[in-house]
Amino acid sequence: MKSWLSAVTATTALLLAACSGPSAKQAADVVYSGGDILTMVGDQPQYVEALAVKDGHIVLAGSLADASKLTGKTTTQVNLNGRTLLPGFIDAHGHIADYTMWWGKPDLSPPPVGDTRSIEDIKAKVAKYLVDSKATPDKLVLVNGYDDSLLAEQRHPTRADLDQVSSTIPILIIHASGHLVVANTPALALVKITKDSKDPPGGHIQRDRKTGEPNGVLEEQAGYPFFAVFPQPSQSEQIEKLVEIQKWYAGFGLTTVQDGVSNPANIAMMQTADSQNKLIFDVVSYAMWKTLGTPAEADARADNADIHVPGAELSNAGRQFESAKLVRTPVTLDEPVKQRLKIGVYGEHFKIGGIKIVADGSPQGKTAYITHPYDVPPPGQKKDYRAYPTLQQAELDEWVEVAYKNNVQVITHTNGDAAVDQLLEAVGKARAKYPEKDLRPVAIHSQLARHDQLDAMNKLGVVPSFFTAHTFFWGDWHAQSFGKQRAYGISPMNYASSLPGFKFTNHNDSPIVPPDMMYLAWTAVNRQSRSGQIIGPDERVSPYIALKAMTDYAAYQYFEEKTKGTLEAGKLADLVILEANPLKVEPMTIKDIKVLETLKAGKSIYKAQ
């Protein structure tokens, strides 16, 4: 009864106001009322009665009485009918451009994302795809998403398994983490990996224990040679796929997304899409550090181009920086996008946020670099196995110093606590040289980050971006790999929330898992694994904190806290309407809440049918 009366009161007030309201020039375009309007301002939930939008921006978040003063004949009045209005969700880390490689291809993921349960399933799917795609021996075939932790055989597929599918067509399948690959014999020959090949720095070639021959499983940088022979769709094909992918993302309430390790071709593709008005929400790209050459070469390209990160309030910032100089590999940009861009500044909906570094591997792939050995190491490894870093400390120090010198935000993949230690050491050294600079380096994943490391991040201005989806997707696997004590501490969001003033985010790392934001919030609140274990009950957070990590705090991570993340006058009308309030439902049902509409700068980009 109360909600019905509130809706009637809201509608009546706005109708009366329309009779004697402001001029069309002054009137709001849209006024929302009649439901829970959760502003996400502050440490405790705050609600307003009405939200008014004009020209893509919020002009009022307040009372019905004040909204009535902005309601005119041209104002559209939206009665939420008890639904919930929130700021649009912000993807704190993901790889949207990667989806253009996999869109329309078979998915090797296990349930609930896919239906692959065994190596035999993988072989059958890949064999069918070879036929459907008319694959030939002169082109590498890529398929994504297998997960050894959930296969019936409890092992990686091997070269021998894929050779049974084809001994002539090169096949490469990608692990669910993106950190391991499996190649058949023709694919290994394509990149000249043989028995005599040595492990590269930051990588490992798995081998047959008896013969010493590569068994097809390549870890981390051992798989990097395949980047040079990946089949690349044309830019127009990528953009066509990107249009469909964006619609799917918008259905999860996303209004800002990330491409978290962009290669030169993807940067050019997204700039072109932006120039053609084919981006429906904001996309933030981070250039893959390996495409920039050495730290010294990257520094030379940035010389006399003090790159501005909005919100950092640096005294000598904002000079323009050639987008083509950002990447080492030559890229032919379409004519419309040969303009000069500033790092950290949008064109229409695309900006380059900075640099992405990968410092270690994946916990589910057992390549995360950790301080104490794995409880259950991978087959063939010794009991003291801790995995390995991608970069040595000196090289990471150089990269972070170059980033600070040139005012560039750097985000660093750090799953294991040993990798987190490396990053903290590098940031500490850079901050000692440039103490006045607020560049908000991001510790991506921070899966096994210790509490003392979060204390250090808070002091150094590092933003941890957690990946609580692991508690469901791989929580049981981690309990075995690391032991329950460490596994229960992954993505320690509750401890982070206990530190005064500390800001942190949460992400899906899509396409590692789908970009389902309500599912992500559910994992942060409940931390329930596939088997029903609670993976770290002490690290569960309230629904409000779960939402803060993908709205308000995520805007801060991007230096966009003045324009996004909360419902306040002057900010963009990036909005999501949910069928129910996550703060008021039974916590285990949060993942079932449907997104009804997503709006970017006041424009509807998704509406449930």
Tokens 């932006």 map to which residue?
274
pLDDT value at 177 more than 90: no
Q: How far apart are CA 174 and CA 537, in angstroms?
A: 32
Mean of pLDDT over the chain? 89
**pTM here?**
0.88
**pLDDT average, residue stretch 319-339:** 35
Tell me: the pLDDT tens digits for 483-513? 999 999 999 999 999 999 999 999 999 999 9
- Structural domain boundaries in the chain: 2-82, 96-229
% of residues, the chain, pLDDT over 70:
89
Vertex 225, ends 219 and 226: CA angle to 5°?
90
When computed from its CA atoms, the radius of gyration of the chain, rounded to whole angstroms, is: 25
CA distance 598 to 573: 10
pLDDT in tens, 376-420: 999 889 999 999 999 999 999 999 999 999 999 999 999 999 999
Give the pLDDT confidence of 105-129 residue by residue, as tens digits. 889 989 988 899 999 999 999 999 9
pLDDT at 387: 96
- What pLDDT is recorded for position 24? 66
Given pLDDT bands bounded at 50, 70 and 90, which one contains residue 302?
A: low
Domains 2-82 and 96-229 share a fold: no
Listed residue (453, 550, 548, 558) closest to 495, CA to CA: 453
pLDDT at 303: 46
Each residue of 62-93: pLDDT tens digit? 999 999 999 999 999 999 999 999 999 999 99
Query: Which 8-state DSSP code applies to residue 498?
Result: H
| Dihedral sign computed on CA atoms, order 217, 218, 219, 224 | negative
Q: What is the CATH number of domain 96-229?
A: 3.10.310.70
Q: How far is CA 175 from CA 143, 147, 223, 458, 513, in A?
A: 9, 6, 11, 33, 12
The terminus-to-terminus CA distance of the chain in angstroms comes to 27
| CATH architecture under which domain 2-82 falls | Roll (2.30)
Is the model's pLDDT at 167 over the cut of 50?
A: yes
The alpha-helical segments, DSSP class H, found in 386-438 are: 393-405, 417-433
Could you tell me where the beta strands, DSSP code E, fall in 266-318? 282-288
**At a CB cut-off of 8 Å and minimum separation 6, what does 550 contact?**
89, 90, 91, 92, 505, 506, 507, 517, 520, 521
Angle at the Cα of 264 (from 262 to 269), degrees rounded to 5?
Answer: 85
